[in-house]
Amino acid sequence: MTTEDMRDEARYQKQGFGNEIGIVGGVGLLIIDFVNGFADPEAFGGGNIPQAIERTQDLLAFAREKGWKVAHSRIIFADDGADANIFSLKVPSMLGLTENNPASAIVPELAPVPGEYVVRKTVPSAFAGTPLAAWFVSHGVQTVVVAGCVTSGCVRASVLDAMQAGFRPVVISDCVGDRAIGPHEANLFDMAQKVADVMPLDALLSRISN
């Protein structure tokens, strides 16, 4: 951390940002958009996304061992583009992520098992316009642990909506990734100050295990 970074963090702390919200009640895991297209640097990927996918395998195994409710999200548009929206106007290539396009399939390493909820969405947030919040509530989830990509886009949007829906988001810093490291780091910092707890996987495992 540079001297300037330390000054920035001190300014936020002085103004009352960055308090810990904690892990409370039932815990759920949300894995956002770890699909083939985002694992491919020639499609929507790049940066540290491959490393985040690899690390998330350990997180998912831990969540399953603990019996957490697990949800995965995919961006899925209609084959004929009938549900095109402002998001796809901004990023037209997203319209190619249709149900049967291999690029929209969850990476094999993190493939859902029976009982895990797969959320299909056409906007960045996994909560916007989907039953995800109600699904978590129905299973007694109060804290949502978050992995996925990209940190500056769908992860951030989902974390913000989780907080606004009354959940306690915990972003696992080495289980989220972005196609560019600058936006990844900036958004981790900002989420930690305003909307979520942010920690590496080892810290989460230590906290849950103790």
Give 71-130 pLDDT, tens digit per residue: 999 999 999 999 999 999 999 999 999 999 999 999 999 999 999 999 999 999 999 999
Concerning whether 154 is annotated as a catalytic residue, the answer is: yes
**Token digits of residue 59:** 């997180």
How many C-beta atoms lie closer than 10 Å to residue 74's C-beta?
Answer: 20
Query: At 198, which helix (H) or strand (E)?
Result: strand 197-199
Half-sphere exposure of 104 (CA within 13 A, CB side): 21
**Of 35, 18, 16, nearest in space to 149 by CA:** 35
- Here the tokens at position 38 are 């985002």
CA dist 138 to 54, 131, 134, Å?
Answer: 30, 11, 6
Q: Beta strand pairing status for 141-149 and 26-32? A: parallel
167 has pLDDT over 90? yes
Task: List the domain boundaries for the chain.
Answer: 22-207
The token pair at 61 is 């195994």
CA dihedral over 166, 172, 178, 182, signed as positive or negative = positive
**C-beta separation of 55 from 203 below 8 A:** no
Smallest CA-to-CA distance from 175 within 57, 72, 69 is with 57
User: At residue 185, does pLDDT exceed 80?
Assistant: yes
CATH superfamily of 22-207: Isochorismatase-like (3.40.50.850)
Q: Please report the pLDDT score of residue 3 as a whole number.
A: 75
At 39-58, the pLDDT tens digits run: 999 999 999 999 999 999 99
Instruction: Indicate which residue of 71, 154, 175, 188 is catalytic.
Output: 154
Task: Name which of 1-5, 29-33, 128-132 the model is least confident about.
Answer: 1-5
* DSSP structural state of residue 156: H
Burial 153-177 (b: 16+ CB within 10 A, else e): bbbbbbbbbbbeeebbbbbbbbbbb
